Chains A and B, each alone.
Chain A
Amino acid sequence: MRLPLLTSVLSAALLSACTQKEPPKTANANAAPAAKPQPYSRDPFPSTYRRYAGAVTAITGATIFDGEGGRIDNGTVVLADGVVQAVGGADIAVPEGATRIDGTGKFVTPGIIDIHSHLGDYPSPSVEAHQDGNEVTGPVRPEVWAEHSVWPQDPGFTRALANGGVTSLHVLPGSANLFGGRGVTLKNVPGRTMQQMKFPGAPYSLKMACGENPKRVYGGRNQMPASRMANIALMRQTWARAAEYKRRWDKYERDGGEMPTRELANDTLRGVLAGEILVQNHCYRADEMANIMDMAKEFGYKVSAFHHAVESYKIADLLKAHGACSAMWADWYGFKMEAYDGVTENIPLVHTAGACAIVHSDDANGIQRLNQEAAKALAAGRRIGINIPDEIAWTWLSYNPAKALGIADRTGSLRQGKMADVTLWNGHPFSVYTRPERVWVDGALMYDSGDPRRRPVTDFELGQPGEGDVK
């Protein structure tokens, strides 16, 4: 799902200039001509990401998980011009002059995509001055954007790359609010600015949260919501107003006339109702997810993914029917009441019911081992007779999160013409003994375990003890 063509402030200004010279014809010739509509920009902080230089590269003799469930033994992957040129068996032609990498005994996968991260918003060091992930001043804050809190110098990005093989990640606001604000998808490359990391053309998300957090934060201030029922009530009231806002603005952008009042919060909600912005909904309990799905149906949107979703296994059939993914940990449980019923079989149970399963981290350490989290869940499933092949399980780590982020047409699997976001592992990526050996983002080698110069060091770590260490 792509964003509609971006309308810049400049083009809006030009349109406005035209209007003055040549008033548009209106249906009613007697009425005063309506001013031509001036849509607001959907992309005022455009991505300035550009792919870094990459050599034509061929990895041969490796086991390939293509990210969409395919597996090729003794496979070849060719990367050039930022994209996957070819994926196949030993018969794939290696272009002349290509850098050849012997992948014997190694595995090639699409780079991992973490759909739930707060890197940059809750960066290391975790000091008070860095707590930028929750706008805890009101339960309805769809106007804030996580990207404006992203600190590109968070050392966590580099660990996710080098230890985790993570090539893209979705940074979300926290879950203190019912409507937490917009999330942003980043390419996991260092940048001086957030815009340099921003995944070009990726849709925004809206972070929503149900359950304990919003009612605890605001209930503790004797303010709505103080209960789960108030969570839903306030969400519905907000959607109802957003629908009205959308009607006003849809009409204006179609017919022109007097420009309605601009509300940044409602811009986000309107984007959801228009299908341009995807809902990522923090929710733990099965019964609450069911309530959220009914509410989504009432207001005409879909939940792209439930995040944390520790009880998805109880309603995997309902999640499948709604078409919502579940982004889950492998084995977290019990840290709060609504996480009490977590089980390690959650991910395979969701998968085997035909619903969409994603492994997520929500954690600066966990993001470094998402492959191992998948492996634990996979093994737990097999022990109860859910025999999912390794290469299918890899969909939890790249294709499914890409799908739930609206970028699966560009990344998340090794298909010809897609972004060359690739991780080469020094063994089976579901083994505890395996680490990323090299990581490419858009065909550029951003990490090479054998080359200390291909290991990013953030500004924060320069001149500090341990600068440039293997970490």
Chain B
Amino acid sequence: MKNLLKGAGALLLALASSTALGQTVAITGGTVALGDGSEPIEGGTVVIRDGRIVAAGRGVAIPAGAQRVDATGKWVTPGIIAGFSRVGLVEVDAVNSTNDVSASNSPFGAAIDIVPAINPRATPIAINRAGGITRAVVAPGTSRSIFAGQGAVIDLGDDMKAVTRARAFQFVELGETGANEAGGSRASAHVLFRNALREARDLSRYSSSIGGGGGQREPSANDQRDFPLEEVPDNRLLSAGATRSDDVLLTRFDAAALVPVLLGRQLLLVHVERASDILQVLALKREFPRLRLVLVGASEGWTVARDIATAGVPVIANALNDLPSTFEQLAATQSNVARMKAAGINVALGMINDDEARQVRLARQQAGNLVAIGRVPGASGLSWGQALAAITSAPAEALGMGGELGSLRPGRRADVVVWDGDPFENSSVAEIVLIDGVQQPLENRQTKLRDRYRTPTEGAMPKAYDR
């Protein structure tokens, strides 16, 4: 009863469990899916060295001395990336003391940096890691401001260093939620947004006058190049010398936090669902041309897909929204993602719903459903390779990290999952999970509870002694 995953045992033994640094590993014989949108390759090889992908595909040379892992009959994919989540911020949703998603009594909004709230030992990290999720985009939630604050990209590894990129983006609400937080209307939300960026602009002028602000480069609008560096707050903007006009609404911290957004050094993730709201967000670039936008939600995106594509703005969408659950999602359909993809938009899947903190492991089931719907007359589905990309390379690219994460192309971090079958299938399970080339434990509270209660009746001693 102790080792229930016997099938995986042989494979687990094949990999040293401590560190992969300096070690070359070749995973051979499996069906390899690169995650870049291409279709799976049977009998492929994945070579990993120093925590990075060296090569993947068919006919890949296996370096001498490489440790081999036979994945014959298995599937090998990049680790899955939760394109939008609250993983690591929550232990139990309804237990407030364990839920750090939003701060309803905080005086701050945009300045909030989610990093201090991330708990690498939150049980959803281990549970979702066992589900093949290796990275997650983690966003704070709004409560009293349209600005939620700055989110991060994290890994789900079994260690205390979770943060892959801190302050990867600012998250803002400009649909129904934003209207509510702006005092009751979308129009008010937009004024608040424009005012906030005006206050940021005043500070940024001070910033450039003192010659700085971390502007490592001048990104052109919405290029697909990666952001090379983490945004580092410029503390000089918080000093008394950084004068501001009397006519301000934002705290100094909040205004300073929006400077990198204004200058296009930090991504701006905007949650909107309704078609008209999407167009209003795209129009913000006329006033603030450097904004690097990513749409979150966009349930009605398919109805204005051409506009989104023309703007070159990526989308992180819910996969399976098909109900008019709000008046801003009247046109919701499971075909949304594939229709936007067909229009040329980079679409990633995210959890913009109640599954955000605990159930990002459902991403692969959702991806499979987007393939399935392609067989329904009148619906639009994704190819298998596109569906995998939507939960691997697409979120990485949307976050400006496609050169680093999300595929098995050379040079990417070696986040690799070996599955016992087609990873989208309800019957499949992750057998090996590597993060940065390091093999991860897949045990967690749930596997232990399961083992304890394999038979419900007690033996000679209470269940509490059975572990």
B104 at the interface (CB under 8 A from A): no
Find out whether the CB atom of A383 lies under 8 angstroms from the CB atom of B5. Answer: yes
0/1 interface trace, chain B 131-150, chain A, CB 8 Å (1 if under): 00000000000000000000
B226 at the interface (CB under 8 A from A): no
Cα(A426)–Cα(B376), bound, Å: 9
Which of B189-197, B410-418, B448-456 contacts its partner?
A: B448-456
Given contacts A337-B94, A342-B446, is CB(A434)–CB(B372) below 8 Å? yes
Interface residues in chain A, defined as those with a beta carbon under 8 Å from any beta carbon in chain B: 124-127, 155-156, 159, 163, 212, 313-318, 331-337, 340-345, 349, 353, 364-365, 368-369, 372, 375-376, 378-379, 382-385, 426, 430-435, 449-450, 452, 460-461, 464-466, 469-471
Given contacts A334-B123, A334-B124, A465-B330, is CB(A432)–CB(B369) below 8 Å? yes
Find out whether the CB atom of A155 lies under 8 angstroms from the CB atom of B323. Answer: yes
Find out whether the CB atom of B324 lies under 8 angstroms from the CB atom of A125. Answer: yes
Most A C-beta atoms less than 10 A away, residue of B124, B427, B446, B453: B453
Find out whether the CB atom of A465 lies under 8 angstroms from the CB atom of B93. Answer: no
From B7, B331, B424, B429, give the contact of A466 (CB < 8 A). B331
From B378, B427, B457, give the contact of A430 (CB < 8 A). B427
Where chain B touches its partner, the secondary structure class is: loop
- Nearest residue, chain A, Cβ from B370: A432
Find out whether the CB atom of B323 lies under 8 angstroms from the CB atom of A156. Answer: yes
Contact partners of A353 in chain B: CB under 8 A: 455-456
Given contacts A125-B325, A471-B334, is CB(A343)–CB(B446) below 8 Å? yes
From B95, B123, B127, B323, give the contact of A365 (CB < 8 A). B323
Given contacts A331-B359, A334-B124, A449-B376, is CB(A466)–CB(B332) below 8 Å? yes
Most A C-beta atoms less than 10 A away, residue of B324, B358, B369, B378: B324
Most A C-beta atoms less than 10 A away, residue of B123, B327, B331, B426: B426
From A317, A341, A378, give the contact of B456 (CB < 8 A). A317
Shortest distance between the CB of B302 and any CB in chain A (Å)? 9
Cα(A317)–Cα(B457), bound, Å: 7
Given contacts A159-B323, A317-B457, is CB(A336)–CB(B372) below 8 Å? no
- Nearest residue, chain A, Cβ from B329: A125
B379 at the interface (CB under 8 A from A): yes
Find out whether the CB atom of B330 lies under 8 angstroms from the CB atom of A341. Answer: no
- 23 CB < 8 A contacts A-B: A163-B334, A313-B456, A314-B463, A333-B446, A334-B124, A335-B92, A337-B92, A342-B446, A343-B446, A353-B455, A353-B456, A364-B325, A368-B322, A372-B365, A430-B426, A431-B425, A432-B365, A432-B368, A433-B372, A435-B373, A466-B330, A469-B331, A470-B376
Most B C-beta atoms less than 10 A away, residue of A332, A435, A460: A435
Contact partners of B426 in chain A: CB under 8 A: 372, 375-376, 379, 430-432
Cα(A362)–Cα(B272), bound, Å: 26
Find out whether the CB atom of A471 lies under 8 angstroms from the CB atom of B322. Answer: yes
Cα(A449)–Cα(B374), bound, Å: 12
Find out whether the CB atom of A341 lies under 8 angstroms from the CB atom of B92. Answer: no
- Nearest residue, chain A, Cβ from B384: A433
Contact partners of B92 in chain A: CB under 8 A: 334-337, 340
Contact partners of A431 in chain B: CB under 8 A: 425-426
Find out whether the CB atom of B4 lies under 8 angstroms from the CB atom of A384. Answer: yes
Find out whether the CB atom of A432 lies under 8 angstroms from the CB atom of B424. Answer: yes
Given contacts A333-B358, A385-B4, is CB(A314)–CB(B453) below 8 Å? yes
Given contacts A124-B325, A156-B323, A337-B95, is CB(A432)–CB(B4) below 8 Å? no
Cα(A124)–Cα(B335), bound, Å: 19
Find out whether the CB atom of B331 lies under 8 angstroms from the CB atom of A465. Answer: yes
A-B pairs, 6 with minimum CB distance: A432-B368, A466-B331, A375-B426, A465-B331, A336-B94, A379-B427
From A314, A341, A430, A433, give the contact of B375 (CB < 8 A). A433
Find out whether the CB atom of B450 lies under 8 angstroms from the CB atom of A384. Answer: yes
Given contacts A314-B453, A335-B358, A431-B426, is CB(A124)–CB(B323) below 8 Å? yes
Find out whether the CB atom of B454 lies under 8 angstroms from the CB atom of A349. Answer: yes
Contact partners of A469 in chain B: CB under 8 A: 331, 333, 335, 378
Shortest distance between the CB of A394 and any CB in chain B (Å)? 14
Interface residues in chain B, defined as those with a beta carbon under 8 Å from any beta carbon in chain A: 4-5, 7, 91-95, 123-124, 127, 275, 300, 303, 320, 322-327, 329-335, 354, 358-359, 365, 368-369, 371-373, 375-379, 424-429, 445-446, 449-451, 453-457, 463
Contact partners of A382 in chain B: CB under 8 A: 427
Shortest distance between the CB of A470 and any CB in chain B (Å)? 4
Cα(A364)–Cα(B303), bound, Å: 23
- Nearest residue, chain A, Cβ from B368: A432
Contact partners of B93 in chain A: CB under 8 A: 334-336
Shortest distance between the CB of B447 and any CB in chain A (Å)? 8
Contact partners of A465 in chain B: CB under 8 A: 275, 300, 303, 330-331
Contact partners of B327 in chain A: CB under 8 A: 125, 127
Cα(A232)–Cα(B426), bound, Å: 39
Contact partners of B354 in chain A: CB under 8 A: 335
- Nearest residue, chain B, Cβ from A426: B375
Cα(A109)–Cα(B368), bound, Å: 22
Find out whether the CB atom of B326 lies under 8 angstroms from the CB atom of A125. Answer: yes
A368-B320, A383-B7, A433-B368 given; name 16 further pairs at CB < 8 Å.
A125-B327, A313-B450, A335-B94, A335-B354, A337-B92, A337-B94, A349-B450, A349-B456, A369-B369, A372-B369, A383-B4, A385-B4, A430-B427, A432-B426, A469-B335, A470-B379
Contact partners of B427 in chain A: CB under 8 A: 375, 378-379, 382, 430
Contact partners of A212 in chain B: CB under 8 A: 94
Find out whether the CB atom of A341 lies under 8 angstroms from the CB atom of B449. Answer: yes
Contact partners of B450 in chain A: CB under 8 A: 313, 343-345, 349, 384
- Nearest residue, chain A, Cβ from B1: A384
Shortest distance between the CB of B403 and any CB in chain A (Å)? 31
Cα(A313)–Cα(B456), bound, Å: 7
Shortest distance between the CB of A449 and any CB in chain B (Å)? 5
Cα(A379)–Cα(B420), bound, Å: 12
Given contacts A379-B429, A466-B330, A471-B333, is CB(A365)–CB(B424) below 8 Å? no
